[in-house]
């Protein structure tokens, strides 16, 4: 009895202050999550709340819509093409900066690729839509100036490729952050000493990168990949600003459809259902990832 | 102690009196010519009721896209403003159905507003027999703007029918092969539906138009809708091909920059052209399109209502009285680009001949007005998806797919039931 | 510089490509910000204005100044709250060995994937019912709720890389966990705090939709104001770009300040172990 009590007191004295904020915040979020889940099973389709239970009505509707499946495919594209190339490019650039050895160039490149993170998609999206405009846009104009007329593209006005050009904006925006995270991961002194000895042994740069560095910065890769995956899955601002889902709805994503359904069509239950789908997709990705991270942390 | 209580009481009374004369108003007239219009509205209010303090929440975003987001959140959370801008028609109905607006029968009777505005306009703000908001203007959707100097140069007359439009487009293309004769910007999706509407009006006539958006037509079997889509397809080669990346104002900008010669847009484009240095009747001309079989004007109004549980209902009612008055409508509408809601205002108040003529026409034929895409007949849930379908049609040109899509949309969003409230004529 | 010629080549090519794709948009922004409305219509993005309108910046500043203050207030408060509570939470997640903490870690991780649009309506409702909606606190509350889990996970990962010997020794001496945390672990974790702070600050600063719903004219943030400047009627891109450039100064300053400290901190902290 006394033992349990003192364990409790121990807990309060030591852990309560750490646990409480986390519990409260997480509690709130889950409360809101369940609220959304409930709404997705209700019939809220006007401006006034409607909590009548209708089961899977809206989900069935959703799955029958062509638009939903386009969105789903688009979101998958965002996940794969948004995350992997960013990781890869950032890794190479960070490594090159390490190899360069010049503080000056490092600072220059870092500032260069970092500034977009200081800007919101409202701004960068607007500028990139000007870059992509087929008739007078920046990219095509430059091709014209250089005489490379055949390289002119339709970019985001071509429904087949539009999404890829949007993803490029995403990569462009996040590259700076990714490089910084990688660079700071490189700086651990144990890693530095391993690299030193490998260099002495005459290993090539590429080998050092992939066989020594990468395995040792798994923590950094983990954080970065998580951030990128989260942002890619939730993507909304870029689509809203640059294409508004168009042409047609070829660049539509689930989060954007959710926005239109909830706030323009006033079909709040449909929007809630879409949110749940986004969340479920995240869950499918999170679970294996969390298990991996888990082992890493608590192994 | 007693003195303190007395002061407290006075303070509370004063606070209440103060609070009673505030007006919390949501709108989306934030920039360009619209900011000045909003200022004009508030000035008119100040003239009449100088003691009302205006607390506005302007939310940027064309046609109220973002505005609706904020409004919906606030309404659902139970903190409504006193009044907000709404477009009449199905949008208004969604607020009425939600129980967020007070009926304004008394007000209308007091102001005799029924008799002053055209019947279709009154119908657009009347749901279930009660008016729920006060319109302050009318925007006409189906206006064809054209480059006047170019038309004079090529000896062209503004087209009144689809066939005339095609021949004009052909003539322009021949004379100026680098031009895209018809400007278009479908980024916000609704622009595509504008063009189709004009075609539908001609091919099917006004009664058909109303029936269509009331969900009474089976588009899969109906020849008129199919024909309209086919005609729309004929226009595609003359359209600006990269319309998916342009907003409506940028599409009007194509005329100014000389890339295009014509655009189908609403009356709000007049203000846009003027800020770009183009004047009505000088650089550009405008005509309603089509004018066969009849000259119909597709319109939507900007209106304001009274929220249920509004924090300051008296101030709001005073505001609505001002909204209905010529003192507000004249400066506001002239600046913002719409027509006057009141028929008893002299059209000569407009500085440009285009709107003078339109207002005269409305005065003489108030019944030739039908609700358009923005303040729509069909419910918002349908209309949004419909815009996407037509915008997609312009890209894919697949008539079968579009017809099937639209037919499905009519069913899913229960248009027949939801649009039954609308009466025309 | 670089000893290997080939790598030098690759390096400079990469720098060149990066320079083009990152400097071009800035150039376009600058050029656009000085144009007249008529020139905007021409859409000649690369051609500088023939009549540069420096007054655009004056106008832009006047319009964006109040929202800059608001954004600074909101973003700083949220960053402070989130990094502080995130640090606390992260410490728990990384040091507690109970099954409960492991489960909690998963639950917290899951919330990171929740699209914030989904909780928009309930957030506004909560903010409204508690009277916070029409003040800065509505946004501060909402952003904090959304960011504390992220901060916890970030700080937790960072704490994981700090070896436990120091803490174990202190605990053997009889110190309580809070004491260990505030006196020993936190000072060592400033790089972690710095990077978390940067991330959260920029996220909050750049957020648009939630701010749109929860702001009033007095509490508008920079992003909402930027969208407003563009307007619905006539797109004033010139003023908007000028305002955007002004608005970018705050996060950039933060980057420059904390960034340097952050790297130095990393090197110092990395010497251990």
**Out of B84-88, B168-172, C7-11, which region has the weakest mean confidence (pLDDT)?**
C7-11
CB count within 10 Å of CB A64 equals 11
A182, A90 contact by CB (below 8 A): yes
- The confidence score (pLDDT) of residue C263 equals 52
Q: Which of residues 249-268 of A touch C (CB under 8 A)?
A: 255, 258-259, 262, 268
Q: Structure pTM? A: 0.85
Round to whole Å and give the CA distance between C121 and B69. Answer: 10
Round to whole Å and give the CA distance between A157 and A137. Answer: 12
Find the mean pLDDT for residues A257-279.
Answer: 88
How many angstroms away from the CA of C119 is the closest CA of chain A? 6
Round to whole Å and give the CA distance between B104 and B119. Answer: 16
- The confidence score (pLDDT) of residue B212 equals 92
Give the one of B98, B242, B405 whose C-beta lies nearest to A46's C-beta: B98
Q: Does the distance separating the beta carbons of B61 and C235 come in below 8 Å?
A: no
Round to whole Å and give the CA distance between A61 and C7. Answer: 56
CB count within 10 Å of CB C247 equals 28
**Considering chain B, what percentage of its residues have pLDDT values greater than 70?**
93
CB hemisphere CA count around B51 (13 angstroms): 8
Residue B31, pLDDT > 70, answer: no
Residue B14, pLDDT > 60, answer: no
Judge if the upstream peptide bond of residue B290 is cis by omega within 30 degrees of 0.
yes
Residue C73, pLDDT > 90, answer: yes
Round to whole Å and give the CA distance between C194 and C254. Answer: 10
* B395 close contact with A: CB closer than 8 A: yes
**Considering chain A, what percentage of its residues have pLDDT values greater than 90?**
18
Find the mean pLDDT for residues A11-19.
Answer: 79
Round to whole Å and give the CA distance between C112 and A227. Answer: 9
- The confidence score (pLDDT) of residue B141 equals 92
- The confidence score (pLDDT) of residue C3 equals 62
Q: How confident is the model at residue A77 (pLDDT cuts 50, 70, 90)?
A: very high
Number of H helices, E strands in chain C: 13, 0
What is the residue whose two structure tokens read 């672990």?
C185
E-strand spans in B169-217?
182-183
For C237-267, how does the pLDDT look when each residue is reduced to its tens digit (9 = 90+)?
A: 888 888 888 888 888 888 777 766 555 444 4
B341, B301 contact by CB (below 8 A): yes
- The confidence score (pLDDT) of residue C235 equals 67
Alpha-carbon separation of residue C116 from A11, B79, C119 (angstroms): 33, 21, 5
- The confidence score (pLDDT) of residue C174 equals 79
Q: How confident is the model at residue C272 (pLDDT cuts 50, 70, 90)?
A: very low
Nearest partner of C127 among C114, C145, C141, C117, judged by Cα: C141
Q: How confident is the model at residue C234 (pLDDT cuts 50, 70, 90)?
A: low
Give the one of B30, B56, B76 whose C-beta lies nearest to C125's C-beta: B76
Q: How confident is the model at residue B235 (pLDDT cuts 50, 70, 90)?
A: very high
How many angstroms away from the CA of C208 is the closest CA of chain B? 11
Residue C11, pLDDT > 70, answer: yes
Alpha-carbon separation of residue B191 from B105, B143, B186, B384 (angstroms): 35, 12, 5, 12
Nearest partner of C255 among A96, A112, A232, judged by Cα: A112
Sequence-ordered list of residues with C-beta below 8 angstroms from that of C27, at least 6 positions apart, any chain: C46
C236, C82 contact by CB (below 8 A): no
Highest mean predicted confidence (pLDDT) among B41-50, C217-226, C229-238: B41-50
- The confidence score (pLDDT) of residue A123 equals 86
Residue A251 or residue C239, greater confidence: A251
What is the residue whose two structure tokens read 């008119």?
B44
Highest mean predicted confidence (pLDDT) among A5-14, A150-159, A170-179, C218-227: A170-179
- The confidence score (pLDDT) of residue C271 equals 34
- The confidence score (pLDDT) of residue B399 equals 92
Find the mean pLDDT for residues C169-198.
Answer: 81
**Considering chain B, what percentage of its residues have pLDDT values greater than 90?**
45
Sequence-ordered list of residues with C-beta below 8 angstroms from that of A162, at least 6 positions apart, any chain: A155, A156, A243, A246, A247, A250, A251, B244
Q: How confident is the model at residue B264 (pLDDT cuts 50, 70, 90)?
A: very high
DSSP conformational letter for C49: P
Residue A189, pLDDT > 70, answer: no
Nearest partner of A130 among C86, C31, B410, judged by Cα: C31
Residues of B in contact with C42 (CB under 8 A): 257
Round to whole Å and give the CA distance between B344 and B341. Answer: 9
Nearest chain B residue to C230 by CA: give it: B31
Round to whole Å and give the CA distance between C35 and C239. Answer: 9
Q: Which chains touch C (3 or more CB pairs under 8 A)?
A: A, B
Q: How confident is the model at residue B65 (pLDDT cuts 50, 70, 90)?
A: confident
Nearest partner of A45 among A32, A37, A57, judged by Cα: A57
Q: How confident is the model at residue B395 (pLDDT cuts 50, 70, 90)?
A: confident
Find the mean pLDDT for residues B14-34.
Answer: 70
- The confidence score (pLDDT) of residue C39 equals 80
- The confidence score (pLDDT) of residue B195 equals 93
Q: Does the distance separating the beta carbons of C28 and A184 come in below 8 Å?
A: no
End-to-end C-alpha distance for chain B, whole angstroms: 68
E-strand spans in C10-132?
none
For B409-423, how does the pLDDT look when each residue is reduced to its tens digit (9 = 90+)?
A: 998 888 998 888 888
Round to whole Å and give the CA distance between A111 and A88. Answer: 20
CA of residue C180 relative to chain centroid, distance? 29
- The confidence score (pLDDT) of residue C16 equals 93
Domains present along chain C, CATH in parentheses? 1-53 (no CATH), 54-269 (1.10.3720.10)
For B275-284, how does the pLDDT look when each residue is reduced to its tens digit (9 = 90+)?
A: 788 888 889 9
Sequence-ordered list of residues with C-beta below 8 angstroms from that of B58, at least 6 positions apart, any chain: B26, B27, B28, B29, B30, B35, B38, C217, C228
DSSP conformational letter for A208: I
Q: What does the block give as tokens for B14?
A: 């004063």
Round to whole Å and give the CA distance between A142 and A123. Answer: 22
Give the one of A28, A120, A131 whose C-beta lies nearest to C208's C-beta: A120
Q: What does the block give as tokens for C67?
A: 């929202």
CB hemisphere CA count around A166 (13 angstroms): 33
Residue A245 or residue A2, greater confidence: A245
What ipTM describes this predicted complex?
0.82
Nearest partner of C248 among B340, A119, B157, A123, judged by Cα: A119
For B139-196, how does the pLDDT look when each residue is reduced to its tens digit (9 = 90+)?
A: 999 999 999 999 999 999 999 999 999 999 999 999 999 999 999 999 888 999 999 9
Residue B241 or residue C184, greater confidence: B241
Q: Which helix (H) or strand (E) holds B321?
A: helix B313-323
Q: Does the distance separating the beta carbons of B257 and C43 come in below 8 Å?
A: yes
* CA quadruple C28, C29, C31, C33: dihedral sign: positive
**Out of A9-13, A116-120, B180-184, which region has the weakest mean confidence (pLDDT)?**
A9-13
How many angstroms away from the CA of B336 is the closest CA of chain C? 9
Backbone φ and ψ for B265, nearest 5 degrees, come out as -150, 170
What is the residue whose two structure tokens read 């597709």?
B298
- Output the average pLDDT for chain B: 87
Q: Does the distance separating the beta carbons of C212 and B277 come in below 8 Å?
A: no
How many angstroms away from the CA of A241 is the closest CA of chain C? 10
A233, A75 contact by CB (below 8 A): yes
Find the mean pLDDT for residues B31-47.
Answer: 83
Residues of C in contact with A105 (CB under 8 A): 11, 15
Indicate the SS3 state at residue B20.
Answer: helix
B304, B322 contact by CB (below 8 A): no
- The confidence score (pLDDT) of residue C266 equals 41
Find the mean pLDDT for residues A203-207.
Answer: 75
- The confidence score (pLDDT) of residue B184 equals 93
For B282-292, how does the pLDDT look when each residue is reduced to its tens digit (9 = 90+)?
A: 899 999 989 88
Q: What count of residues does chain C have?
A: 273
Q: Does the distance separating the beta carbons of B405 and A263 come in below 8 Å?
A: no
- Output the average pLDDT for chain C: 81
Q: Does the distance separating the beta carbons of B98 and A246 come in below 8 Å?
A: no
Q: Does the distance separating the beta carbons of A245 and B395 come in below 8 Å?
A: no
């Amino acid at each position: 009895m006394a033992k349990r009590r003192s364990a409790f007191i121990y807990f309060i004295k030591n852990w309560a202050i750490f646990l409480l904020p986390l519990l409260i915040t997480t509690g709130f979020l889950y409360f809101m999550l369940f609220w959304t889940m409930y709404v997705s099973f209700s019939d809220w389709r006007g401006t006034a709340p409607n909590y009548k239970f209708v089961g899977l009505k809206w989900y069935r509707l959703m799955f029958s819509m062509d638009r939903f499946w386009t969105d789903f495919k688009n979101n998958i594209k965002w996940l794969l093409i948004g995350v992997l190339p960013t990781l890869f490019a950032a890794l190479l650039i960070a490594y090159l900066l390490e190899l360069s050895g010049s503080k000056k160039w490092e600072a220059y490149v870092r500032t260069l690729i970092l500034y977009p993170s200081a800007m919101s998609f409202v701004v960068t999206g607007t500028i990139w839509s000007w870059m992509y405009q087929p008739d007078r846009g920046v990219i095509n104009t430059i091709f014209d100036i250089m005489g490379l007329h055949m390289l002119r593209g339709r970019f985001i006005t071509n429904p087949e490729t539009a999404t890829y050009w949007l993803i490029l904006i995403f990569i462009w925006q996040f590259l700076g952050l990714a490089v910084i995270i990688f660079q700071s991961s490189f700086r651990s002194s144990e890693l530095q000493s391993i690299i030193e000895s490998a260099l002495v042994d005459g290993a090539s740069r590429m080998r050092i990168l992939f066989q020594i560095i990468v395995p040792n910065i798994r923590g950094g890769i983990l954080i970065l990949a998580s951030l990128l995956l989260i942002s890619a899955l939730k993507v909304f601002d870029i689509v809203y600003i640059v294409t508004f889902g168009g042409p047609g709805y070829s660049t539509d994503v689930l989060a954007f459809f959710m926005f239109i359904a909830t706030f323009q069509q006033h079909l709040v239950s449909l929007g809630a259902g879409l949110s749940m789908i986004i969340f479920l997709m995240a869950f499918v990705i999170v679970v294996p990832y969390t298990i991996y991270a888990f082992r890493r942390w608590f192994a | 102690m007693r003195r303190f209580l007395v002061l407290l009481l006075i303070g509370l009374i004063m606070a209440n009196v103060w609070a009673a004369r505030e007006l919390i108003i949501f709108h989306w007239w934030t920039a360009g010519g619209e900011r000045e219009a909003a200022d004009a509205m508030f000035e008119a209010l100040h003239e009449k009721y100088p003691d009302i303090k205006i607390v506005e929440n302007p939310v940027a975003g064309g046609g109220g896209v973002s505005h609706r987001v904020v409004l919906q959140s606030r309404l659902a959370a139970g903190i409504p403003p006193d009044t907000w801008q709404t477009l009449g028609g199905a949008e208004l109905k969604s607020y009425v159905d939600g129980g967020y607006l007070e009926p304004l029968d008394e007000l209308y009777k007091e102001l005799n507003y029924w008799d002053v505005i055209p019947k279709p306009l009154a119908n657009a703000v009347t749901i279930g027999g009660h008016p729920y908001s006060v319109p302050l203007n009318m925007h006409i959707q189906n206006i064809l703007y054209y480059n006047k100097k170019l038309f004079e140069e090529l000896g062209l007359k503004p087209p009144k029918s689809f066939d005339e439009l095609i021949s004009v487009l052909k003539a322009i293309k021949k004379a100026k092969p680098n031009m895209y004769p018809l400007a278009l910007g479908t980024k916000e999706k609704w622009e595509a539906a504008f063009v189709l509407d004009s075609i539908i009006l001609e091919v099917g006539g006004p009664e058909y138009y109303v029936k269509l958006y009331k969900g009474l037509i089976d588009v899969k079997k109906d020849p008129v809708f199919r024909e309209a889509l086919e005609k729309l397809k004929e226009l595609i080669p003359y359209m600006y091909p990269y319309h998916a990346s342009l907003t409506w104002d940028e599409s009007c900008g194509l005329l100014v920059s000389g890339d295009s010669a014509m655009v189908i847009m609403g009356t709000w484009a007049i203000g846009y052209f003027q800020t770009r240095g183009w004047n009505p009747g000088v650089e550009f001309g405008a005509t309603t399109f089509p004018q066969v079989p009849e000259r119909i004007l597709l319109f939507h109004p900007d209106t304001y209502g009274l929220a249920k549980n509004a924090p300051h209902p008296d101030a709001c009612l005073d505001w609505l009285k001002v909204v209905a008055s010529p003192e507000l409508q004249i400066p506001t509408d002239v600046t913002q680009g719409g027509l006057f809601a009141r028929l008893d205002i002299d059209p000569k108040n407009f500085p440009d001949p285009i709107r003078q003529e339109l207002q005269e026409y409305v005065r003489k034929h108030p019944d030739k007005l039908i609700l358009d895409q923005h303040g729509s007949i069909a419910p918002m849930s349908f209309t949004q998806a419909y815009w996407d379908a037509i915008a997609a049609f312009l890209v894919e040109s697949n008539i079968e797919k579009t017809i099937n899509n639209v037919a499905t949309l009519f069913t899913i969003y229960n248009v027949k039931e939801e649009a039954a409230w609308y009466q025309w004529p | 510089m670089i000893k290997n010629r080939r790598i030098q080549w690759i390096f400079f090519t990469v720098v060149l490509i990066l320079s083009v794709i990152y400097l071009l948009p800035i150039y376009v922004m600058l050029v656009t910000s000085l144009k007249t409305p008529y020139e905007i219509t021409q859409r000649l993005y690369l051609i500088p204005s023939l009549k540069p309108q420096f007054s655009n910046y004056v106008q832009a500043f006047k319009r964006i100044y109040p929202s800059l203050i608001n954004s600074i207030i909101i973003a700083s408060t949220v960053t402070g709250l989130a990094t502080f509570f995130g640090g606390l939470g992260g410490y728990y997640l990384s040091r507690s060995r109970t099954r409960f903490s492991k489960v909690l870690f998963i639950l917290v991780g899951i919330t990171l994937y929740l699209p914030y649009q989904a909780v928009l309506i309930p957030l506004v409702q909560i903010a409204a019912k508690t009277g916070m909606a029409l003040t800065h606190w509505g946004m501060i509350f909402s952003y904090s709720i959304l960011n504390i889990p992220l901060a916890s996970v970030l700080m937790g990962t960072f704490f994981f890389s700090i070896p436990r010997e120091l803490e174990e020794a202190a605990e053997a001496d009889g110190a309580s966990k809070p004491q260990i945390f505030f006196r020993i672990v936190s000072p060592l974790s400033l790089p972690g705090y710095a990077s978390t702070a940067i991330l959260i600050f920029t996220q909050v600063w750049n957020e648009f939709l939630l701010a749109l719903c929860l702001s009033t004219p007095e509490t508008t943030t920079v992003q909402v104001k930027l969208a407003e400047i563009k307007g619905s009627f006539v797109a004033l891109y010139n003023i908007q770009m000028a305002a955007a450039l002004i608005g970018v100064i705050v996060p950039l300053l933060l980057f420059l300040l904390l960034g340097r400290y952050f790297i130095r901190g990393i090197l110092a902290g990395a010497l251990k172990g």
